[in-house]
Amino acid sequence: MQKFIVKGGNPLKGTVKISGSKNASLPIITACLLTKEKCTLKNVPDIADIHTMCKILNSLNVETNFEKNTLEIDAKNATLKDIKTNLVNKMRASILLLGPLLARFNKAKLPFPGGCVLGKRSVDTHLDALEGLNCKVSEKDNVLTVQSDGLKGNKIIMTEISVTATENAVMAAVLAKGKTEIRLAACEPHVQDLCNFLNKMGAKIKGIGTNNLEIEGVSKLKGITYTVTPDYLEAGTFAIAAAITKGDVTIENVRTDQLDSFWNALAEVGVNFKFEKEDKVVIKPAKKFNKIKQLRTAVYPSFPTDLQAPFTVLLTQASGISKIFETLFEGRLNYLFELEKMGAKVEILNPHEAIIVGPSKLKGTPIASCDIRAGAAMVVAALAADGETEISNINYTDRGYERLDEKLRNLGAEIQRV
């Protein structure tokens, strides 16, 4: 197993360019199953989850070629086959195959997906939405089978505002007969990017960026070239890393309008930042950080759950008592036990709430990543800590961040992969 060895205390300085969005790339890759023509995707992050998804597509006779952040996908000869459980178990995003496979073959068969351990993450919302499009669902031996004698448009009210369930419903509906209305749809930037991609292919989706989508089914989609949106979660992580090390960092290739709640929280804490352009933000050193009344995560456009862990690390350096309220995943706060090892003053109230008392001096010690975003948080903590920190389970970090250690070294961090 690989580890990060981080020596903290160095202010980050320089410029970092944000990679393409993991959470946008994965559904867009599966959406390429919806056409028999070749698609070319640009700005795709070179991370483990992308390679896993390509392997899954390869097992379905889909040709892929990934080089220098450009991914070519040719699904002309795609066939419906059993997908290996060991591939599906590597990431939750494998559930995104359900919608495209149904639209292409009127059948999808998939082992239950794996991924980060963030508490119970039911697939019921996915199945309810697909059943609304004239599908039947069965389960046997931990394998899902969804079938249809022809997808039909319908009015679907999502049972929860789920990103991946919305994406599955959209990908199935674009080739369904008739009109589909999806209410209580997720509207995160990566959902918007998928919809924009599909519209460029020839789909007819209205209401992009809202919680109500209207989709007029079409008979065919075409192959296109498309540039994936930047990863706003990576941008937020680097902004926090720059702030906590009292660095001077310019972050490029970021859609600043995708992070409104995050910028508000940074301002409340007292982080010194300014927008130079709509795709560039500069972080400057701040004298001190202030407590935050409550960091409450919720669905977009509220504060993103995926930035809660890195932001909480920043709050360990703030003066006063800050409260964390994680509304989405009951397993998301597990990383706080690792922060306590480093000297953070934490009181866990319940699986969703915690109190952070700061400022506290963080000290280097062996710690572990609990999930993709907690892994990034551990790196942020190590950058701010005194001494050397050893971070294990960095396979999580590699799933979500492209060349994180290399980008940080270019900013002056002492971080090595061993």
Active site residues: 116
Residues 80 and 109 sit within 8 Å (Cβ to Cβ): yes
Tokens 């935050």 belong to which residue? 292
**Per-residue tokens: 216:** 């007029």
Chain centroid to CA 189: how far?
10
**Closest C-alpha among 373, 356, 260, 403 to residue 310:** 373
**DSSP conformation class of 365:** -
CA distance 94 to 89: 8
Please give the backbone phi and psi of residue 5, each rounded to the nearest 5 degrees, phi first.
Answer: -110, 120
Q: Is the peptide bond before 301 cis (omega within 30 degrees of 0)?
A: yes
CA distance 165 to 236: 25
Radius of gyration of the chain, Cα coordinates, nearest whole angstrom: 21
Q: Which amino acid is at 155?
A: K
Q: Which amino acid is at 325?
A: F
